[in-house]
Amino acid sequence: MSTHGQKGIDALKARNYAEALVHLDRALETSQSPTWLLARSQANQQLQRYSEALRDAELAYHTAAERGSGNSRKQMIDAQYRRAVVLLKLGRYADADCCAKWSQLLCEGRPAREDDGVEKQVDDQGYYTVTLEQAKADTAGQPKQGNPGDGAVAQALSSSTATSQDWNRAYIWRCQALGKMEDLPRDDPGRKVTVTKVPQRPTVEKKVDTITKSAGAAAQPPVASSDKERSEAPPKPTPEPGSVPDDKLKARADFYQTGQSVTISFFVKGVDKEALKPRFHDNYVVLYPLPREAAPYVKPGDRESYSTLHLGGQIVPASSRCTVSPRKIELVLQKAEPGVKWATWGTEVIGQPTEDAEGQASAAAVSPNTARADTSVKPDKISVASPSNAPKATADSQPAPAYPTSSKTGPKNWDKVADGEVADDEDNKDVNFFFKQLYKNATPEQQRAMMKSFTESNGTALSTDWNDVSKRTVDTVPPEGVEAKKWD
């Protein structure tokens, strides 16, 4: 496996999604591996880059199908599931259910190109007709552990615990998609099916090889000098030093944030990773040296290579970091006030910061850009009174409640937890969460089947098919390489 590919997957497991993208981009320059495409799709989805995440999932489906290796079916199962995750995030609930169902059918051993008619379950106006209750009852083809069924393919699939887990994972996602779809208005676009089982293959951008390009140029016939003079455009006038305005020198920037940090992508090509010396301060960051396309024409001095980024809020300099890739600089800044949302990342100023900026934080650059509770009181409303007269903060003006915690994911918004909001599967790695959600969304009959199969198999099998488990004792099926022994 490529060094960058493995580093990208390791960063993804550690939930360092921005770092994972950097390595996976490099790895995919050499090979369109379905594994790397699926990993990059997950990283993009976590960073809310949904169009890129969907594109990677669809490309992974095609590359896996074309390779036809031993892992192809598993990768196609994952690709359909990743499509379902992204489509649900986009509010396309009917599309999400279709892709989750196709992921289940692949788990059941059905042909990848079978015309199963999932996307055709629409009414005369084109709205999806499948309901949450129908999805909960749709367990006939669920891979069963310890009871392979008929056929060699079914037997091979049913012996894999991972396949059963993949089926259950898609089952949970179907329940979420259809549950949300039921709350939509009757004519909402989220109820319409716009996807196909085999997605249209996304185009892959190919870089022109400089050697090939040079060879092609050399192969062209020579041009007469008179013709060459006529064909060449007149040279552009060279700008005078200092004539390029600062706005032309500024780089394009993008950002996203969580309750704990702000990540800024600063798009500058050709940065020397070893030479770059970022300096982090309470509310600004200095980057030096930076290459600029117009650098030969700017004024001599620090404008040629310095940028000062005045931030949209306060940060913790010691906990902030910088990574460099061929096309951008990425800053991961730790918020000084967790839970406070920034309205914007800030602004870029060409050149070194002034001595005042180096010596003290510039509050004026922060306050207009930070979205936080307004604690100011107008003069005509000031009164010396008991705490009962104190101004009350509204729900809209207050940041999300954040309480002290030792969790690696930081403070949790317990209001959302109380409302029963279900997080994405990547945010809930605890196996107990998976089983709780599966049990919660099951019918009473399926819950009985789950309790019986799990208890009788000593925790090694789980089934939601009551018709199957009610007629037999579910055998203990230990993982491969493990021997089941009775407790004395």
52 pLDDT above the threshold of 70: yes
Q: How far apart are CA 351 and CA 288, in angstroms?
A: 9
Looking at the structure, tell me whether residues 273 and 170 fall in a common domain: no
In a domain, 235, yes or no: no
Instruction: Output the pLDDT for position 51.
Output: 92
Model confidence pTM above 0.85: no
Looking at the structure, tell me whether residues 251 and 355 fall in a common domain: yes
What pLDDT, in 10s, does the model give residues 108-130?
888 888 888 999 999 988 899 99
% pLDDT > 90, the chain: 31
Is residue 282 within 8 Å of 359, Cβ to Cβ? Answer: no
Print the domain residue range for 289: 246-371
In a domain, 402, yes or no: no
What pLDDT, in 10s, does the model give residues 333-379?
999 999 899 989 999 887 777 644 444 444 434 443 444 434 333 33
In a domain, 26, yes or no: no
Q: What is the CATH number of the domain that holds 146?
A: 1.25.40
In a domain, 5, yes or no: no
**Total domain count, the chain:** 3
Q: Closest by alpha carbon to 57, among 72, 71, 39, 70? A: 39
Looking at the structure, tell me whether residues 58 and 175 fall in a common domain: yes
Looking at the structure, tell me whether residues 365 and 439 fall in a common domain: no
Residue listed under structure tokens 């050697």: 211
Tell me the C-alpha to C-alpha distance, in Å, between residue 257 and each of 142, 220, 285. Answer: 39, 52, 17
In a domain, 261, yes or no: yes
Task: Give the 3-state secondary structure of residue 122.
Answer: strand
Looking at the structure, tell me whether residues 187 and 43 fall in a common domain: yes
Query: What 8-state DSSP symbol labels residue 127?
Result: B
Looking at the structure, tell me whether residues 317 and 438 fall in a common domain: no
For residue 62 the two structure tokens come to: 């095609």
In a domain, 475, yes or no: no
Higher pLDDT pick, 247 / 59: 59
What pLDDT, in 10s, does the model give residues 12-29?
999 999 999 999 998 888
Count of CA atoms in the C-beta half-sphere (13 A) of 238: 6
Q: How far apart are CA 425 and CA 88, in angstroms?
A: 12
Query: What 8-state DSSP symbol labels residue 43?
Result: H
Q: What is the mean pLDDT of residues 187-216?
A: 70
207 pLDDT above the threshold of 70: no
- 380 Cα distance to chain centroid: 48
- Quote the Cα angle for 54-56-61, to 5°: 95
Q: Which secondary structure element, helix H or strand E, spans residue 132, and what is its range?
A: helix 132-137
- Quote the Cα angle for 24-27-31, to 5°: 125
Phi, psi values for residue 266, rounded to 5°: -110, 105
Higher pLDDT pick, 424 / 460: 460
Looking at the structure, tell me whether residues 185 and 252 fall in a common domain: no
